[in-house]
Amino acid sequence: MKKINSLYIIDDDPIAIFGIKKMLKLKVECNDIKAFENGKMALDDLKGRIEYGDGIPEVIFLDINMPIMDGWEFLEELLNLNIEEKVIINVITSSIDPSDYQKWNHFRLNSIHHLNFRNKPIYKIEVTDVSLAS
């Protein structure tokens, strides 16, 4: 079991959140799993953590299509925060629009964080989704 201090799930679909949480139970030991229904809520929480010196989430599961603030906007904002710790960000989408993959690649090449791209449906959490390659 991989031990993780804190983890974010950002998705407007409660079923998706349920699924990710369920799958994580098999792979990860984490007492701080937080779910947000859009990017804005997650960003606000993240900013709060930085302000109060709480730990940055080590792993983020990020949906793309969300109201208020979508996954890309969240990523943009996240990069602007200049977080020094390397975060594993799993972009999870049901989109098959090639432009989404290109966008992901653009972010991957332009950030220090570790970005994965996963198409829904997902049936299990891979080791690479929760740990940095050695």
Give me the residues that bind another protein (CB under 8 A), please. Answer: 13-16, 18-19, 22, 37-38, 65, 67-68, 73, 94-97, 120-123
- Could you give the angle at which helices 39-51 and 71-80 cross, rounded to 10 degrees? 20
Between 20 and 30, name the residue whose CB sits nearer to another protein: 20
Q: In whole angstroms, how close is the CB of 81 to another protein at the nearest point?
A: 18
3-state secondary structure of 75: helix
Q: In whole angstroms, how close is the CB of 27 to another protein at the nearest point?
A: 14
Q: How far apart are CA 44 and CA 97, in angstroms?
A: 28
Residue type, 76: E
Q: In whole angstroms, how close is the CB of 13 to another protein at the nearest point?
A: 7
β-pairing verdict for 2-3 and 28-29: parallel
Q: In whole angstroms, how close is the CB of 38 to another protein at the nearest point?
A: 8
Between 48 and 67, name the residue whose CB sits nearer to another protein: 67
Q: How far apart are CA 11 and CA 126, in angstroms?
A: 19
Between 53 and 121, name the residue whose CB sits nearer to another protein: 121
